[in-house]
Amino acid sequence: MYADKTLKCKDCGQDFVFTAGEQEFYAERGFQNEPQRCKACRDAKKNAGKPQREFFTTTCARCGKEARVPFQPTSDRPVYCSDCYAALKQE
């Protein structure tokens, strides 16, 4: 019923494909307008107002490896790398 369409991004001018699956998704949701931006430009526009997330580097309290966390570590609580944290959750 649907066929892939090639559209032109209104921001960067590049051609992008509006796939049959995407068209079906739009129809199911009742969207009447085709997308005007490519995926990269849509993502850039969506994230434009968000502040860049800051990560902090620390040492894992369990294995001693370097761990990057999205919060400022304090000395009163242990911080774990993602592997050790997942292992602790399963225990």
The domain limits of the chain are: 5-47, 56-90
Are 65 and 81 a contacting pair, CB within 8 Å? yes
Mean pLDDT of 46-73: 91
Between CA 39 and CA 14 the distance in angstroms is 11
Torsion of CA 43, 48, 50, 55, to 10 degrees: 80
DSSP secondary structure letter of residue 67: E
Q: How far is CA 8 from CA 25, 26, 34, 38, in A?
A: 20, 18, 11, 8
pLDDT digits (tens, 9 = 90+) for 9-21: 999 999 999 999 9
pLDDT digits (tens, 9 = 90+) for 4-57: 999 999 999 999 999 999 999 999 999 999 999 999 999 999 988 888 889 999
Write down the pTM of the prediction.
0.55
Between CA 22 and CA 31 the distance in angstroms is 11
